[in-house]
Amino acid sequence: MSSSQSEISNFSEKFDRARQLQDRGDLSGAIAEYRSILDVDSENLAALHQLAQLSEARGDFEAAIGHYRKAIELDSEPPFWVYRHFGFALSQQEQLAEAVAAYQKAIAANPEDVSTYGLLGQVQGRKGDIEGAISCYQKQIELSSNIPIWVYLNLGDGLSQIDRLEEAIEAYTKALELEPENAGIQRLLDAVTARKEADEVDPLRLPNGCKGKGSWRRRWQNIDRFWRRMGVTWWRCIRWRRFVRVWDGGMRRWRGIGGQLRWMPSRRFGCIGIWGLP
């Protein structure tokens, strides 16, 4: 038997032993076997893949990242699942930008893999890319009818954050259909429904206690939606925290914003109340 044939036979035996150890739950022993293969052949992709997955299963994400990274460098066309697992390991180490790139490569390699869209949506949500996360969850729902409940919940959360309340209500309703007895989902649905009803009654209303990042943005969005819905020619903010000018077909009103805009009489709409700006 030649030396190359002997090495192949030896590798095959080591792989068999490693799998037997895995089946028995001895992950440390299996890892040792795969490492012994890499000691002889550092570019053995099968051993790198197995070692990466075992490291991931043990929660050693730093080691898993190293093995996946090396496997990707050695393989000209890595399978999509390698990128998907690589993205997951990166996300667990808060390397979110790289995780997004890995998930996107997994999707490019296999656009029909539904679960990758949800994983990408989670990472984008953690990065603060709410629109990107929503797009991923919606794509996952479009591709499959068997959607886990957390996808609908995350989608509802994202939609409610950017005031797409009707869509958020629909997402929470789908989640509640999957778990009708879940009181937490019912509370989320009730809260968003109440917000939508309040906006319909008073479009300029800002929820009580809403302060800090995003509050001023939401208020100006609400004002803009209100005037557009009423058919107002235009409105604009002048000297941001001092004055607002509104033109409703010829009638103008100026009010200072020291702390709160007072009631603004209007021929067309009666009285329009605008709450104080931050």
Residue 256 placed within a domain: no
Q: For residue 45, give its domain range.
A: 1-78
What tens digit of pLDDT does each residue of 213-231 get?
445 556 666 666 655 555 4
Structure tokens belonging to residue 83:
């990128």
The number of folded domains in the chain is: 2
> What angle do helix axes 149-161 and 130-143 make, rounded to 10 degrees?
140
Looking at residue 227, its pLDDT comes to 55
What is the domain-level CATH number for residue 83?
Answer: 1.25.40.10
Q: Is residue 51 part of a domain?
A: yes
Q: Is residue 71 part of a domain?
A: yes
3-state secondary structure of 248: coil
Domain boundary among 145, 170, 199: 145
Is 120 found in the same domain as 68?
no
Looking at residue 235, its pLDDT comes to: 40
What is the structure's pLDDT at 56?
A: 92
Residue 259 per-residue DSSP state? S
CB atoms within 10 A of CB 130: 16
- Same domain? For 72 and 98 the reply is no
Q: 249: Cβ–Cβ under 8 A, 6 or more apart, which residues? A: 232, 233, 268
- Cα(138)–Cα(110) distance, integer angstroms: 17
For residue range 88-108, list pLDDT tens digits in order: 999 999 999 999 999 999 999
- Nearest to 82, CA basis, from 72, 74, 91, 73: 72
Evaluate whether residue 123 is within a structural domain.
yes
| CB contact at 8 A, 264 and 274 | yes
Among 120, 145, 170, residue at a domain's last position: 145
Q: How far is CA 209 from the centre of its chain?
A: 26
Q: What are phi and psi of 38, to 5 degrees?
A: -70, -25
What pLDDT, on the 0 to 100 scale, is given for residue 175? 95
Residue 41: inside a domain: yes
* Bridge partners, 256 (sequence order): 243
Residue 66 and residue 122 in one domain:
no
Regions of the chain with pLDDT less than 70: 1-9, 201-278
* 9 and 49 share one domain: yes
Which of the listed residues 145, 175, 201 is the one where a domain comes to its end? 145
The answer to whether position 193 is within a domain reads no
